[in-house]
Structure 1
Amino acid sequence: MRSRLTLLVAGTTLLVLLAFLVPLAVLLRQVAEDRALSRADDVVQTIVPVAGSGDLTALRLTVTAQPVPVTVFLPDRSVIGAPSERTPGVRLAAATNRALTVVTDDGQELAVPVIGAGGTTVVRTLVTDAELTRGVTRAWSILGALGLTLVLLGLLVADRLARAITRPITELSEVSHRLANAELTARASPAGPRELREVAGALNHLAGRIQELLAAEREQLADLSHRLRTPLTALRLEAESLRDPEESARIASATDQLTRAVTAVIQQTRRRDAPPAVATCDAAAVVRDRVAFWAVLAEDTGRDLRRNLPEAPLPVAVSADDLAAALDALLGNVFAHTPDGTPLSVTLTGRPGGGAILEITDEGPGFAASEARRGASGGGSTGLGLDIARQVATTFEIGATQAGGAQVRLEIIGA
């Protein structure tokens, strides 16, 4: 934009200068010609009275004293002054008894007839092209230098003006990019024309409004999460009151896990601009623990849960809670959307270069690819389970087994 404004001002300045300087240059040339012709005419008019008096001695003295070459053609065909032939202009002036200005190859010729007792005398002088254009080249050079100076000055002023306009725009662009990168404390400094100051004010107001909405959303989510603690406490008390110790321990463990998840949500929503901590965990231990949890429900529903888990640790750059939530979401989908008795398998292997590969397959009816989008569900659920799993993976693939069941494959980077 800055270069375009500069070019626009430069073009406008150049056009204005051309419209002014070209006529002025033509006028200067014309003035130089008129000045030279006027000077030559003054010389001729000085000689005419002497030529009419018939005093040849005075005529010779007068012609010799002139600053320009003058030739006088007498009626007896003799010549006084600068040697010259009788040109067509001289002959025509003598024949018509009229003063003439004739354009020749060498310049402009002035021929003035003087009628005397012995016949017609013609006074002739030649104004050369050099005399006609004397001083024109210098004047044109001065005009050209003046025009170039004005163009450069116009470019300088245009560049300063364009910079004054584009600098606030650039700052607004930088602030908008900072806001887009979640740096909500970024603010624009109102500067430049009134319109740009209004845009800066609107952008600052928008940033402030976004901060207010995010803060309100965090508070609402934190309040909602905090309210869940009461029924969770009641659920834990109910679990402790169960007579079956194994059943009580299993429900208490699930309740503790849910409590930890609610606590993590509260802490995350309370967090402001602190950079997220780098979380790691042992994928093998987390998957082994969650598969053991879901194995009880698989046994109750008559499902064959096959597991292929390594004994060695598999460190990954994901928190244990996030990985457990992802696996719970995927296994929960299997239990929720396949009939009882449907076999499933969980496979965890090492990833080349570090990390882990997690695969969950089942022999159910599978699901369409359109259901793999966030919020899309064909079974009456929220449609967020697959998206929760996708967030912990660097590569997330959904396919189908040879039997037509669903297959979900996650690649997780190493710690």
Structure 2
Amino acid sequence: MRSSPWEPTWSQDTIARRFALTIMAAVTVAAVLSALVVSLASAWLATPANDAGLLQTAISITHALEAAPPALRSTLAAAAATKIYGIEWHPADDPLAAMLRQGTGLDDLHPVEGAWLNDLTARSFVFYVTAGSPAAALLRHDFTPEERFRFLGVRLKDDSWLVYAHLDRTRDAVRAFRIGIALILLLLSAAAVSLVAARQLSRPIERIADAARHFGTNPQAPPIAESGPRELRGVIRAFNAMQGQIQKFVGYRTAMLAAISHDLRTPLTRMRLRGEFVEDAEQQARLFRDVDEMQAMVDGALAFFRDDADEEAVTAFDLGGLLTTIADEYADQGVAVAYEGPSHAVYRGRPFALKRAVTNLIENAVKHATPPAMTLEQVLGEQVPETVAIVVRDHGPGIPEDALEQVFSPFFRLDRSRNRVTGGVGLGLTAALAIVRGHGGDITLTNRPGGGLEARVTLPTA
């Protein structure tokens, strides 16, 4: 039976498997690092004496002192004490012994549970003393105000008592320090392993995003190589299929429209030949004018489709130098087009296509307004420009507000006289917009407050 495509398959490279392996690797690295640090730093992370160790020590010392004469017990207790624990012997008539028997004067008193001390279990108690309690003055111990200490009391057979005091104050601190180091190592190792794993996982996603951006500016971009987990390979496969279908559709549309425009030339030629037999001179002139206008529209459409099908390579070029060249070419024709901006600005795109787009905007201003001025603006990001803007401004009459978007429509002209000399065929701005959007940018037209029109071409640098 075939498993569902959404069911995790641990034998395959999937996102679920990568997450599981990342967690396992992070925990393993944390454990190894923790063990390594503890072994290398045993001097300052030495394991302190624990309660079990103190109880086991009390078994031997208690049996030895119980067998010794009472006169020697104080001396032997002091000799058996270490820097980790202290030992005091209190005779039966000692006030502290009376407190332990009666359970008074102590902060808290609990019998020792379990069989750790064997036959001494029934005679052993754990009690707590603070600096302000009556028992604090009877113990040979340095008490700190507001600090609570734990002691182990063992009653001997003659009703005297042995009191064991844990002197290692760093036990809890070292334990907390160990836990803190383990948590820090776990976090650091998890962060390091997760960063590496996330980088491996995000790299195919970045390639998909880059391919989507490149496909927006270059319809002939190659497909993406399939890599990464199974889910991402499926996404890349679907994206490549979609990209291929779009490329086929655009190519078919362009070829079809170009063929239609080309085939229109034949009936237009027949119309002109038949117009030669029209005897009315006025009607003949009108017919020839319409034929010429249709011929210009067909020629413009063919040029537009040829540009659309052009596979100019994307390359890095000097955008500032390109705009300067355009201004110099118009100056050679006696048209003063001013340029303001950096003389050199590296941009990656299709230089000849952008030159046609900017030329169409300038040509539109020269025909309908005054010679424009060009400005190149760069919007800086953290380190590099995020966008560049080419602004073309003139001092003409501007465009009606309701027509600022319509002028980009194919064959739309503001000149209602249908004069081809002043109005063109209405494809200049359409072609310019198609070129700019092919670079991932846009063109916006706005009327200037002081009069004139501003065309702003915004191009992303990424």
Residue type of the partner of 2:395? G
Equivalent residue, structure 1, for 2:125: 101
Contact persistence 2:123–2:155 (CA under 8 A): yes
Change (3 A) 1:48 1:92: farther
Q: CA deviation at 1:125?
A: 2.0
Residues of 2 paired with 1:186 and 1:104: CA distance?
78
Matched, 1:210 2:246: yes
Change (3 A) 1:197 1:177: same
Equivalent residue, structure 2, for 1:87: 97
Residues of 2 paired with 1:112 and 1:283: CA distance?
110
Change (3 A) 1:59 1:128: closer
Secondary structure of 2:161's match?
Answer: strand
Contact persistence 1:356–1:411 (CA under 8 A): yes
Q: CA deviation at 1:385?
A: 5.6
Residue type of the partner of 1:69? I
Contact persistence 2:300–2:427 (CA under 8 A): no
Residues of 1 paired with 2:215 and 2:178: CA distance?
55
Contact persistence 1:226–1:266 (CA under 8 A): yes
Equivalent residue, structure 1, for 2:303: 267
Residues of 2 paired with 1:314 and 1:102: CA distance?
101
* Percent identity for Structure 1 against Structure 2: 18
Equivalent residue, structure 1, for 2:229: 193
Residue type of the partner of 2:98? P
Residues of 2 paired with 1:89 and 1:268: CA distance?
107
Change (3 A) 1:384 1:390: closer
Residue type of the partner of 2:55? L
Q: CA deviation at 1:58?
A: 6.9
Secondary structure of 1:69's match?
Answer: strand
Residues of 2 paired with 1:148 and 1:413: CA distance?
57
Residues of 2 paired with 1:389 and 1:257: CA distance?
11
Equivalent residue, structure 2, for 1:128: 165
Residues of 2 paired with 1:62 and 1:129: CA distance?
18
Secondary structure of 2:154's match?
Answer: strand
Equivalent residue, structure 1, for 2:288: 252
The one-character-per-residue Cα deviations of 1:180-229 (angstroms, maximum 9, x if unpaired) are 44644264443332111211221122122111111111111111111111
Residues of 2 paired with 1:90 and 1:358: CA distance?
104
- After TM superposition, list the pairs within 5 Å mapping 1:132-143 onto structure 2: 135-143=171-179
Change (3 A) 1:60 1:148: closer
Residues of 2 paired with 1:174 and 1:225: CA distance?
36
Contact persistence 1:112–1:124 (CA under 8 A): yes
Equivalent residue, structure 1, for 2:154: 111
Contact persistence 1:165–1:193 (CA under 8 A): yes
Q: TM-score, normalised by structure 1?
A: 0.54
Matched, 1:48 2:66: yes
Residues of 1 paired with 2:257 and 2:429: CA distance?
22
Residues of 1 paired with 2:59 and 2:256: CA distance?
102
Matched, 1:39 2:57: yes
Secondary structure of 2:50's match?
Answer: helix
Residue type of the partner of 1:230? T
Contact persistence 1:44–1:123 (CA under 8 A): no
Unaligned runs of 5+ in 1: 18-27, 78-83, 115-120, 288-312, 318-351, 360-368, 375-382, 398-409
Residues of 1 paired with 2:291 and 2:229: CA distance?
61
Change (3 A) 1:262 1:89: same
Residues of 2 paired with 1:103 and 1:89: CA distance?
11
The one-character-per-residue Cα deviations of 1:366-393 (angstroms, maximum 9, x if unpaired) are xxx9xx998xxxxxxxx98689979859
Which protein has the larger Cα radius of gyration, Structure 1 or Structure 2?
1
Secondary structure of 1:265's match?
Answer: helix
Change (3 A) 1:43 1:134: farther
Residues of 2 paired with 1:134 and 1:123: CA distance?
30
Change (3 A) 1:197 1:64: closer
Out of 194, 200, 203, which is 1:164 matched to?
Answer: 200
Change (3 A) 1:208 1:357: same
Residues of 1 paired with 2:124 and 2:364: CA distance?
114
The one-character-per-residue Cα deviations of 1:143-180 (angstroms, maximum 9, x if unpaired) are 32122111111111122222222333233233323334
Contact persistence 2:88–2:164 (CA under 8 A): no
Secondary structure of 1:185's match?
Answer: coil
- After TM superposition, list the pairs within 5 Å mapping 1:8-407 onto structure 2: 32-51=50-69, 65-67=79-81, 68-71=86-89, 73=91, 85-88=95-98, 91=101, 99-105=123-129, 106-114=149-157, 121-131=158-168, 135-181=171-217, 183-185=219-221, 187-245=223-281, 247-271=283-307, 272-274=310-312, 275=353, 277=356, 278-279=359-360, 280-281=362-363, 314=370, 353-357=394-398, 392=429
Q: How many residues of Structure 1 are paired with residues of Structure 2 in the alignment? A: 284
Unaligned runs of 5+ in 2: 1-18, 32-45, 104-119, 130-148, 313-352, 374-392, 415-424, 431-443, 457-462
Residue type of the partner of 1:88? A
Contact persistence 1:225–1:262 (CA under 8 A): yes
Change (3 A) 1:36 1:357: closer
Change (3 A) 1:386 1:245: closer
Residue type of the partner of 2:50? A
Structural RMSD (CA): 4.8
Residues of 1 paired with 2:273 and 2:231: CA distance?
64
Q: CA deviation at 1:243?
A: 3.3
Larger CA deviation: 224-233 vs 234-243: 234-243
Contact persistence 2:394–2:454 (CA under 8 A): no
Q: TM-score, normalised by structure 2?
A: 0.49
Change (3 A) 1:60 1:31: closer
Change (3 A) 1:63 1:222: closer
